[in-house]
Amino acid sequence: MITTIDEERGEVIVKTGDSETRYSLSTAEGFAAASRAWVRATWDSKYVYSFAWMGRPIIQLPEDMVRLQEVIWDLKPDVLVETGVAHGGSLIFYASLFEAMGKGRVVGVDIEIRPHNRQAIEAHPMKKRIDLIEGSSTAPDVLAQVKALIKPGETVLVVLDSNHTKAHVLDELRAYGELIGIGSYVVATDGIMAQVKGAPRTGDDWDWNNPLTAIHDFVAEDKRFIVEEPAFPFNEGVVTGRVTYWPDAFVKRIA
């Protein structure tokens, strides 16, 4: 696929083989085509490695975090569990939202929390709303520790952002899906892997070995869950789809 953005004409030209389609930049289709090229550029340039939240690197596409904030505000969970801690920026982000909302706790799980990251998180003003658990997110003892931090009847939201292989994400979906109630989500991040295969920092098997494949396999095997895009709470434009690293990420429990 070859995408050309003609700013002078206000068009996006998408060429696939011998077929060429032109879209106006003012249309949803034109925006989607231009955004797809832009998202690939953000991957190649490591654009997401340039943001911090309240002093901690976050390494997320800003739109993904804003869209997730919309879901958090609407759902108002008591506990948000995130697998994958890294520098802790996303944990601080969620904790700061909970601080502003006056409720909510964050549980961060990672197979390795590096000492300098742990020290920075534990010294942060938002640490009062964060618990850290070190170990594999799918290990029985780690799952037991997570469950021990959730009180009966609490609303739980889960974000999966650790090992992004299909097998691991599928195991996480099976395990953490049991923690959420009807109407809540397990958000499986970084399904963009299939889209950017062949770019720098990608693997040869990313067309199938990725969170997106795990998501589709999971909802096919467990009918209590569906993939459902949360509605935009406000929209006066023509665009109705997210610009995202997380396609089909919102796995909703319906039964």
Residue by residue, pLDDT tens for the chain (255 residues) are 899 999 999 999 999 989 999 999 999 999 999 999 999 999 999 999 999 999 999 999 999 999 999 999 999 999 999 999 999 999 999 999 999 999 999 999 999 999 999 999 999 999 999 999 999 999 999 999 999 999 999 999 999 999 999 999 999 999 999 999 999 999 999 999 999 999 999 999 999 999 999 999 999 999 999 999 999 999 999 999 999 999 999 999 999
What pLDDT shows up at residue 100? 98
How is 130-167 classified by DSSP, letter by letter? EEEEES-TTSHHHHHHHHHTS-TT--EEEEE-S--SHH
One-letter amino acid at 33 equals: A
What are the chain's domains? Answer: 2-45 (no CATH), 52-253 (3.40.50.150)
Which residue pairs from 99-105 have beta carbons closer than 8 angstroms and sit at least 24 positions apart in sequence? Answer: 99/126, 99/129, 101/73, 101/76, 103/76, 103/78, 104/76, 104/77, 104/78, 104/79, 104/80, 104/129, 105/78, 105/79, 105/80, 105/129, 105/130, 105/131, 105/149
The answer to whether the beta carbons of residues 132 and 85 sit under 8 Å apart is: yes
- Sequence-distant (6+) residues with CB within 8 A of 120 are 55, 56, 87, 88
